[in-house]
C-alpha cells in the first residue's frame, strides 16, 4: 500500500496530466538585431549597460508611403556674393516641391566691419607725415577686401611696407576715428582698440624673440631649461624666507592693546619669578612659517587641505583640552568646524576667528591665574593677626633654646633598652617616660673641659 491507496486515489489519475498541461510553455525570446549570438547567450537577455543597437538602424528614417523623394539639378544664388552669380547643385526634392530660401552655407560668410572716414575727418584727425592719403585709402580698401589678413595685404600693397607698419597705421586710424566720433572719451574707453592700443615695436621684438627660440639647438634649449628651473627655485626660496620673516614680526594686537601699554597695565607679569600657567604658550611662529613654505612648495593643493594644515600649525602649542574648547566655542557661535564654501576669503576669516578664540582662552587662563595669586596673597595677610608673634621670632627662640639630650645617664638609657627587650611589643605603652628628661643638665667643670 502507498499513499494513493490510503487516500483512495487512482494510481494513474488525471490530476498529473492536468498539472502537466496547466504549466505554460516558456516563450522563446528572439535575439534582437545587432547583438551577436555569443553575447546574447552570455547576457541572457539582460539589458546592456551600453546601447547595443546598430548605429545604422538609428540613422534610418521611417518613410511614409505618401512622400516621394527625388534629387534634381537646380540653380541657386547666395547672399554672400554681390555679383548675383548663379550656380547649380543637387537638391533633395520632396513631392516635387523644391526647397526655397537662401543658400544654406551663406550664414558662414562673416566679414569684418572696416571703418570708413571722410576727407574732412582725415585732414582733421588722421594726417600723418609718414603716410599719404592715397596710401591710407589703398590700405583700407585692401583690409576690407581681404578681411584684415595683413600678410596678404602686405604682399598686395604697392609700396614697400612691413606687416607691423600696416597694422600700426590701420589700428591707429580706427582708434582715432572712434575717439573723434564718440560724444565723450569715457564712452569708448572700454573698446579694445582704445583700451589696448597696438604697439608696433613690441610686436617686432616679440617676433624677433620667437625666431630666436625657434632657431635654438637642443643643447641651448636644455641649458635654458636648467637656468629657468634654477631661477624658479631661487624665487620660491626667497618667497618662503620673506613669508617667514613676515610671520615672525610681533603682532601688537595679540600681545596687548596700545591703550593698555600707554596706561602701564601689565598684561603678563614681567617679574623674573613669575610663572605662567601651563596652558598658555607663545604663538607657533616657526611652525606657521614652515607650513606656509610647505604649501608653497606643493603649488597645487586643495584649499581645505591648506586650511587644515594652518589650523594644526596655529593650535600646535595648545593642549588637547584647549583645542576642544575652541571647537566648542565655534559650535556655540554657530560656526561650522570646516567651512562649507572654502573660498580664500572664508578660509582666512575662519583661521583668524580660531586664532582670536585661542587668544581669548589664553587671556581667560591668565585672568584666572592672577585671581588665584591675588586670593592667596589676601588669605595670607588675613591669617596673620596682631597677637600672633612672627614666625621669624619663633625660629630665633628655637635657635636660642639649649639643646637637651634625651637621657643624661648611660645606665638609665641601657636599662630602658633592656626593659624594652624583655617586655613584649604590646607593653611598650606601659613603660614610663625617662626621668632624665625632667632633670636639669649637668654643669661642666673646667677640669672636664
pLDDT of residue 415: 45
Tell me the angle at which helices 285-298 and 218-248 cross, rounded to the nearest 10 degrees. Answer: 160
8 A C-beta contact, residue 122 and residue 136: yes
The lowest-confidence range among 53-57, 90-94, 265-269 is: 265-269
Distance CA 405, CA 436 (A): 9
Q: What is the pLDDT of residues 42-67, one digit of tens each?
A: 776 666 666 666 666 666 666 666 78
Residue 402 pLDDT > 90:
no
User: Is residue 278's pLDDT more than 60?
Assistant: no
| Phi, psi angles (nearest 5°) of residue 70 | -135, 160
The span from the CA of 65 to the CA of 70, in Å, is 14
Contacts of 318 (CB under 8 A, 6+ apart): 279, 281, 326, 358
In this predicted model, which residue has the larger pLDDT, 65 or 449?
65
User: In the structure grid, which three cell numbers stand for residue 151, read together?
Assistant: 600678410
What lies within 8 Å, CB to CB, of 122 at 6+ separation is: 133, 136
Please, how many CA atoms are within 13 Å of residue 51, restricted to the half-sphere of its CB?
Answer: 6
First-to-last CA distance in the chain?
138
pLDDT of residue 395: 45
Taking the C-alpha atoms of residue 47 and residue 291, their distance in angstroms, rounded to an integer, is: 53
Taking only the tens place, the pLDDT of each residue in 11-24 is 765 555 555 555 66
Q: What pTM was computed for the model?
A: 0.39
Over residues 247-270, mean pLDDT: 41
Ordered DSSP codes for 33-50:
TTS-HHHHHHHTTPPPSS
Alpha-carbon distance of 446 to 449, in angstroms, equals: 5
- pLDDT computed for residue 30 by the predictor: 74
Element (H, E) at 93: strand 87-94
Residue 378 has pLDDT above 80, yes or no: yes
Mean local confidence (pLDDT), 253-267: 38
CA-based torsion, 294, 297, 298, 303: positive or negative: positive
pLDDT at res. 64: 65
Given a cut of 90, whether residue 143 has pLDDT beyond it is yes
Q: If pLDDT is split at 50, 70 and 90, which confidence band does 121 have?
A: very high
Q: What is the DSSP string of 167-205?
A: HHHHHHHHHHHHHHHSSSGGGGTTSHHHHS---HHHHHH
CA dist., res. 127 & res. 131, Å (int): 8
Q: Which residues pair with 88 in a beta bridge?
A: 75
Question: In sequence order, what DSSP letters do the residues of 336-393 get, joined into one string?
Answer: -SS-SS--HHHHHHHHHHHHHHHHHHHHHHHHHHHHHHHHHHHHHHHH--TTSPPHHH
Torsion sign over Cα 65, 71, 72, 76 = positive
Alpha carbon of residue 425 to chain centroid: 80
Residue 312 pLDDT level (bands cut at 50, 70, 90): confident
What integer pLDDT is reported at residue 443 of this predicted model? 55
* CA atoms of 375 and 106, how far apart (whole Å): 95
Cα 219 versus chain centre, distance: 39
- Contact, 126 vs 135, CB < 8 A? no
Estimate to the nearest angstrom the gap between the alpha carbon of 448 and the chain centroid.
94
Instruction: Select from 158, 195, 165, 198 the least CA-distant residue to 179.
Output: 195
**Closest to 333 measured CA to CA, from 353, 313, 309:** 353
Rg (CA), the chain: 53
pLDDT tens-digit readout, 194-251 = 999 999 999 999 999 999 989 999 999 999 899 999 999 999 989 888 888 777 654 4
Strand partners, 90: 73
Asked whether residue 169 carries a pLDDT value surpassing 70, the answer given is yes
**Residue 192 cell numbers, joined:** 579694445
Start-end of H helices in 2-71: 3-7, 14-22, 37-43, 55-59
Amino acid at each position: 500500500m502507498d499513499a494513493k491507496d490510503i487516500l483512495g486515489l487512482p494510481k494513474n489519475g488525471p490530476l498529473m496530466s492536468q498539472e502537466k498541461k496547466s504549466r505554460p510553455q516558456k516563450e522563446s525570446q528572439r535575439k534582437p538585431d545587432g547583438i551577436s549570438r555569443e553575447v546574447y547567450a552570455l547576457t541572457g537577455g539582460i539589458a546592456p549597460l551600453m546601447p547595443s543597437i546598430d548605429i545604422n538602424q538609428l540613422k534610418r528614417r521611417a518613410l511614409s508611403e505618401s512622400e516621394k523623394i527625388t534629387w534634381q539639378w537646380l540653380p541657386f544664388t547666395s547672399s554672400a556674393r554681390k555679383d548675383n552669380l548663379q550656380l547649380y547643385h543637387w537638391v533633395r526634392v520632396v513631392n516635387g516641391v523644391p526647397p526655397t530660401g537662401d543658400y544654406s552655407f551663406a550664414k558662414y560668410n562673416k566679414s569684418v566691419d572696416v571703418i570708413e572716414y571722410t576727407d574732412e575727418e582725415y585732414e582733421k584727425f588722421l594726417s600723418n607725415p609718414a603716410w599719404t592719403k592715397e596710401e591710407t585709402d589703398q590700405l583700407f580698401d585692401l583690409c576690407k577686401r581681404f578681411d584684415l589678413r595683413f600678410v596678404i595685404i602686405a604682399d598686395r600693397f604697392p609700396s614697400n611696407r612691413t606687416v607691423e607698419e600696416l597694422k600700426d597705421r590701420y589700428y591707429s586710424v580706427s582708434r582715432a576715428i572712434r575717439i573723434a566720433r564718440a560724444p565723450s572719451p569715457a564712452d569708448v574707453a572700454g573698446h579694445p582698440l582704445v583700451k589696448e592700443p597696438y604697439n608696433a615695436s613690441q610686436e617686432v621684438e616679440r617676433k624677433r624673440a620667437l625666431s630666436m627660440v625657434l632657431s635654438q639647438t637642443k643643447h641651448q634649449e636644455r641649458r635654458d631649461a636648467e637656468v629657468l628651473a634654477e631661477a624658479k627655485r631661487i624665487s620660491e626660496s626667497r618667497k618662503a624666507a620673506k613669508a617667514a620673516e613676515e610671520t615672525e614680526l610681533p603682532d601688537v594686537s595679540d600681545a596687548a592693546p596700545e591703550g593698555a601699554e600707554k596706561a602701564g597695565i601689565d598684561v603678563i607679569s614681567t617679574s623674573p619669578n613669575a610663572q605662567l600657567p601651563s596652558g598658555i604658550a607663545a604663538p607657533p611662529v616657526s611652525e606657521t612659517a614652515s607650513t606656509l613654505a610647505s604649501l608653497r612648495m606643493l603649488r597645487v593643493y586643495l584649499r581645505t587641505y591648506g586650511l587644515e594644515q594652518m589650523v594644526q600649525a596655529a593650535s600646535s602649542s595648545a593642549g588637547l583640552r584647549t583645542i576642544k574648547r575652541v571647537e566648542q566655542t565655534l559650535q556655540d557661535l554657530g560656526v561650522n568646524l570646516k567651512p562649507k564654501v572654502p573660498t580664500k576669503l572664508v578660509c582666512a576669516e575662519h583661521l583668524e576667528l580660531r586664532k582670536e578664540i585661542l587668544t581669548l582662552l589664553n587671556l581667560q587662563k591668565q585672568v584666572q591665574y592672577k585671581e588665584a595669586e591675588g586670593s592667596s596673597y589676601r588669605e595670607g595677610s588675613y591669617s596673620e593677626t596682631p597677637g600672633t608673634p612672627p614666625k621669624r621670632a619663633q625660629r630665633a627662640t628655637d635657635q636660642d633654646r639649649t639643646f637637651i639630650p634625651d637621657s643624661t645617664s648611660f645606665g638609665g638609657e641601657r636599662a630602658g633598652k633592656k626593659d624594652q627587650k624583655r617586655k613584649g611589643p604590646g607593653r611598650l605603652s606601659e613603660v614610663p617616660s625617662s626621668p632624665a628628661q625632667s632633670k636639669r643638665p649637668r654643669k661642666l667643670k673646667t677640669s672636664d673641659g
